[in-house]
Structure 1
Amino acid sequence: MANYTERARQSQGVEWLNDNAQVLSISLFFLVCMGFFTALSDTFLTSGNLLNVLRQAAPVLIVAVAMTFVIMTAGIDLAVGSIVALINALAAILMVNGFDWVTTSVLMILAGAVVGLMQGWFISFQGIAAFIVTLAGMSILRGIALYITEGYSIPIKDQPGFFWLGRGTLLGIPVPAIIAMIFALVALIVMRNTRYGRQVVAVGSNLEAARRVGMPARWLVCSVYMFSGIACAIAGLLIAARLGSGSSNAAVGFEMQVIAAVVLGGTSLMGGRGSILGTVLGALTISIIGNGLILLHVSPFLTQIVTGVIILVAIWMNTRLFGAGFKIKKG
């Protein structure tokens, strides 16, 4: 008993570092990226550019926050980019055909929830692997978007309130960034301070054990995919509002950016551990890298290579270092 008490007393600070090691790691990497691009570009640290980064990062951040819940259940959603494209195209079609933007937004959020719920049903109640279901969804939903638009971009006109959501500012801050931060704050509160958040962690840690103690494990898994669908709908609407059009070609490669942000932020691909703060920093880091490379006149194709390398390194750190019980020991 004496040894246990001494160990707990001496290791409080060290245990805090262990618990927050990945968030601290992404924080450091974020600051390094900021310093690197600031040193190489006079434009990078200007207020106009930073606000532009926040505006463009908002859709990725919103979906990445929802993806954190999905990956915490040891799942994955590869269809997020296709859902964003479908919502983006549908929203434009509805507004072109006389629907006001408020009604359209509500309908699109409901549509995103239904699509996510359908994927979750196949995964949790039919026992099909999340990778397979969402891979099929990625193809099907993108195909639907292409079919209804015939591959064309659909311009949106006479919707000033809708455009304000994507292009406007509030107290000098881009509206999409404000929406994304509110979304992340609500998700953080849900994860840390609600029964639902604790149950999601429990399901990700051990689904069978969670089921045996009476948790609605299947419905919990289903719900995180519905949450992901809602987040994709919001992201699709923001992209349409910023660009003033809807397109089936929107959000190509979006899922890679989202997964990179989540994994880079410290969420375990094995489930049971995640960080909303880490995800926010991961999304901002991905956006800063893309923006910085553009300012340095680097080929945009290199951004995909860098993002892919980040995913690989992040997964390696998850499985080989942190996943293997990596610990900082006093002394």
Structure 2
Amino acid sequence: MNLSSSRMIQHSLPRRLLHNHSGVVSIALFFVFCCVVFSLITSNFLTGTNWLNIIRQSAPLLIVATAMTLVITTGGIDLSVGSTLALVGALSAIALNSWGLPWPVVLLGGLLLGGFVGAINGFFIAYEGIPAFIVTLATLAVVRGIALLVTQGYSIPVPADSLFTFIGRAWVVGIPMPALIGMMILVIGHIVLNHMRFGRYVTAIGANAEGARRSGINTKAVTMKVYIISGMAAALAGMIITARLGSGSSNQGEGFELQVIAAVVLGSTSLFGGFGTIIGTLLGALSIAVIQNGLILSHISPFYTQIATGTIILLAIWLNTRILNPTRSAAKG
């Protein structure tokens, strides 16, 4: 290899890296842009206290978005995460307050319940062939209805002396416990998606489900597992929110699924399946949290958050269609 070819390789490497990770770079720039804008609007934005608050409040979103990245990478979607979050959170409060169950039992039971909801979704999607949108939309309504039924529309308090509140209110070495849990889930998700066989199966199913099946991958089992993971992640997020607020309610998590989907697609995970990035999801979740926090500090009505979230989803879908998947959009055009 001569000197000129060596230099060409050195110059082309950064370009290839930038091209391969253009989506993550884009959301990173968007995140920085949001931080700069809100830091100019309000002086309280860049304070350490505010950033710890952002990290703590974004933890449930990050947890569920990590699992949703796996779901969307397979080419699916889970609209029931907000309802699952509400049901598990409400039942956790009831179990602690009315049934007197020990908090470890409540935590385990909540995760199992979330996994059960995910298993129902996964069964009808993977084994019965019903589109994920229809199945999870139905589950969204049913699970939210059950949450309303068991709470009768009331908020259920968590006993103030219960150690259950540890997962939502505790601080460890100056870091909120929800943030530590969220980062742990993030690291696990990144390892699973990028460095484990299961993650390769998830990506293969999203890229070409029939090809993955013919290559020997049990596509139905893998698909069902990602929905179980999604349900358990929603359950964990619901218990963290209930522990932090000190009460469970059937109204928790309304519109949460939209924020989760926005975080994932904003992070450049392809809505068509076949490509997912946990790092992008992290940046997407933090961007949404920064927007919500910045609007509040800027004394702008929180109702604008819904508009911002919807706009983000629309732009992310457009980017997925026109930039990240240009061949598909060209074929449709």
Q: TM-score, normalised by structure 2?
A: 0.94
Deviations 1:133-164 (A, max 9, x none): 00000000000000110000001114442112
Which SS does the other structure have where 2:326 is aligned? coil
Map Cα deviations across residues 4-39 of structure 1 (whole Å, 9 max, x no partner).
x99978643322111100000000110111111111
RMSD after superposition: 1.7
SS in structure 1 of the partner of residue 276 of structure 2: coil
Give the corresponding residue for 1:60: 61
How far apart in 2 are the matches of 1:118 and 1:38?
45
| Cα distance in 1, alignment partners of residues 12 and 278 from structure 2 | 25
Equivalent residue letter for 2:212? A
Q: Aligned residue for 2:20?
A: 19
Report the counterpart of residue 259 of structure 1 in structure 2: 261
Q: Which amino acid in structure 2 is aligned with residue 246 of structure 1?
A: G
Q: Please report how far the alpha carbon of residue 168 of structure 1 lies from its aligned counterpart in structure 2 after TM superposition.
A: 1.3
Deviations 1:79-128 (A, max 9, x none): 11000000011101111110111110001101111110110000000000
| Counterpart pick for 1:239 among 238, 241, 257 | 241
Contact 2:204-2:212 within 8 A present in 1 as well: yes
Query: Which amino acid letter does the alignment assign opposite residue 307 of structure 1?
Result: T
> 2:119 aligns to what?
117
The secondary structure found in structure 2 opposite 1:300 is coil
- Partners in 2 of 1:246 and 1:13 — Cα distance? 49
| Aligned counterpart, 1:92 | 93
Summarize the alignment of residues 201-220 of structure 1 with structure 2, pairs less than 5 Å apart.
201-220=203-222
**TM-score, L = length of structure 1:** 0.95
Q: Which residue of 1 aligns with 2:325?
A: 323
CA positional deviation for 1:57: 0.2
Of 128, 131, 135, 2:130 maps to 128
**Could you say which residue in structure 2 is the equivalent of 1:329?**
none
* Number of aligned residues: 323
Q: Hey, what does 1:292 align to over in structure 2?
A: 294
The unaligned stretches of length 5 or more in structure 2 are 1-5, 329-333
| Per-residue deviation, residues 230-271 of structure 1 (Å, max 9, x unmatched) | 100110010000000010000111001000000000000000
Does the CA-based 8 Å contact 1:74-1:272 persist in structure 2? yes
1:103, 1:218 → 2: CA distance? Answer: 31
- Aligned AA (2:255): G
2:200 corresponds to: 198
Report the equivalent of 2:82: 81
Distance 2:204 2:80 in 1: 25
Change (3 A) 1:159 1:225: farther
Alignment identity in percent?
A: 51
In structure 2, the partner of 1:143 is 145
Secondary structure of the equivalent of 2:166? helix
Unaligned runs of 5+ in 1: 327-331
> Which amino acid is 1:180 matched to?
G
Counterpart code for 1:206: N
Deviation per CA, 1:193-246, whole angstroms, max 9, x where unpaired? 111111110011000000011100111111100000010011001000000001
Distance in structure 1 (CA, Å) of the matches to 2:295 and 2:304 = 8
- 2:159 alignment partner, SS class: coil
Distance in 1 (CA, whole Å) between partners of 2:213 and 2:325 is 24
> For the Cα contact (< 8 Å) 2:42–2:297, is it kept in 1?
yes
User: Segments of 4+ in structure 1 off by > 6 A?
Assistant: 5-10
Q: Is the 8 A contact 1:64 1:279 kept in 2?
A: yes
In structure 2, distance between residues paired with 1:246 and 1:303: 23
In 2 relative to 1, CA 90–324 (structure 1 residues): closer, same or farther, beyond 3 Å? same
1:221 aligns with 2:220: no
Deviation for aligned residue 1:183: 0.4
User: Which residue in 2 is equivalent to 1:302?
Assistant: 304
Return the letter of the residue paired with 1:291. N
Amino acid across the alignment from 2:35? M
Q: 2:166 matched to which residue of 1?
A: 164
| Amino acid in structure 2 at the alignment position of 1:82 | S
Indicate conservation of the 8 Å contact 1:101/1:159, yes or no: no
